[in-house]
């Protein structure tokens, strides 16, 4: 049996070793951050890069998964195929940034600036884009399932063939947005602004569109089965070929100007 003295010595050694390894790990991470900021590497997962100046930087295929990029400036940066899953991009400037085919699943993008950003075919599943600015962003074929987009500004954004199943778009501004053939099944669009939006052949099965403004929206061939359109404004909306089986229309302002009972 180990003596008390030897046991205490062993514990002390292990604690010292753990402290040494922790300091070494922090030093290595800091060195990695310095090399990344200096442009010597594109791999910096879990790095602390708050307010980093990365404007126009070529970060194609970069690995920044889990990194803290709060307030970072990535204006016009090139990030196609970049790994940003779980990254914190709160308040980041991503205006006109190339994020085609990037992985941002679970990332935080609250209040992020993404004006005219190119996110075609990117994975944004479960991201938090609350209050984000996405005017004229290219989001064709993007995956936004279960994403938080409440109060986000998406005026003129292109979301054709995008997947937004179960996404929260409540009070989002989607005026003149293109959502042709988009999958919005079960999405929350309560009080969303969809004036003149293109929703031709979109899947809105079971979606919550209560109090939504769909003035002049094109819903031709859209699936609205079981959708909640209570108190929605459908003035001048196009519903040719739309499926409305089981849809709730109480108090909705219909295309012909009548109010649904």
Average pLDDT, stretch 113-142?
Answer: 98
Q: What is the DSSP string of 61-116?
A: T-B-TT-B-TT-B-TT-B-TT-B-TT-B-TT-B-TT-B-TT-B-TT-B-TT-B-TT
Cα 19 from chain centre:
38
Name the nearest CA neighbour of 217 among 201, 198, 204, 192: 198
How far is residue 93's CA from residue 96's CA, in Å, rounded to a whole number?
A: 9
Is the pTM here over 0.75, yes or no? yes
Give pLDDT, residue 5. 54
Q: State the chain's mean pLDDT as an integer.
A: 92
User: Could you tell me if 55 and 78 are in contact, meaning their C-beta atoms sit under 8 angstroms apart?
Assistant: no
Note the pLDDT tens digit of each residue in 197-238. Answer: 999 999 999 999 999 999 999 999 999 999 999 999 999 999
How far is residue 224's CA from residue 212's CA, in Å, rounded to a whole number?
A: 14
pLDDT higher than 70, residue 29: no
């Amino acid at each position: 049996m180990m003596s008390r003295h030897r046991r205490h010595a062993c514990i002390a050694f292990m604690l010292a070793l753990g402290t040494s390894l922790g300091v070494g790990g922090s030093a290595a991470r800091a060195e990695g951050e310095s090399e990344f900021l200096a442009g010597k590497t594109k791999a910096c997962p879990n790095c602390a890069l708050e307010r980093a100046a990365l404007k126009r930087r070529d970060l194609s295929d970069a690995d920044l998964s889990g990194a803290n990029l709060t307030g970072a400036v990535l204006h016009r940066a090139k990030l196609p195929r970049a790994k940003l899953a779980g990254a914190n991009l709160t308040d980041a400037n991503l205006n006109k940034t190339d994020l085609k085919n990037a992985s941002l699943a679970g990332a935080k993008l609250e209040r992020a600036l993404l004006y005219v950003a190119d996110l075609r075919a990117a994975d944004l599943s479960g991201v938090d884009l609350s209050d984000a600015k996405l005017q004229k962003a290219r989001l064709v074929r993007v995956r936004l399932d279960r994403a938080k987009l409440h109060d986000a500004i998406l005026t003129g954004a292109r979301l054709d063939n995008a997947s937004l199943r179960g996404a929260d778009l409540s009070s989002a501004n989607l005026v003149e947005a293109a959502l042709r053939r988009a999958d919005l099944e079960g999405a929350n669009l309560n009080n969303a602004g969809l004036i003149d939006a293109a929703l031709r052949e979109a899947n809105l099965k079971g979606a919550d569109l209560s109090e939504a403004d769909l003035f002049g929206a094109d819903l031709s061939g859209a699936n609205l089965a079981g959708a909640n359109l209570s108190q929605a404004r459908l003035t001048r909306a196009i519903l040719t070929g739309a499926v409305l089986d089981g849809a709730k229309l109480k108090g909705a302002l219909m295309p012909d100007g009548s109010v649904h009972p």
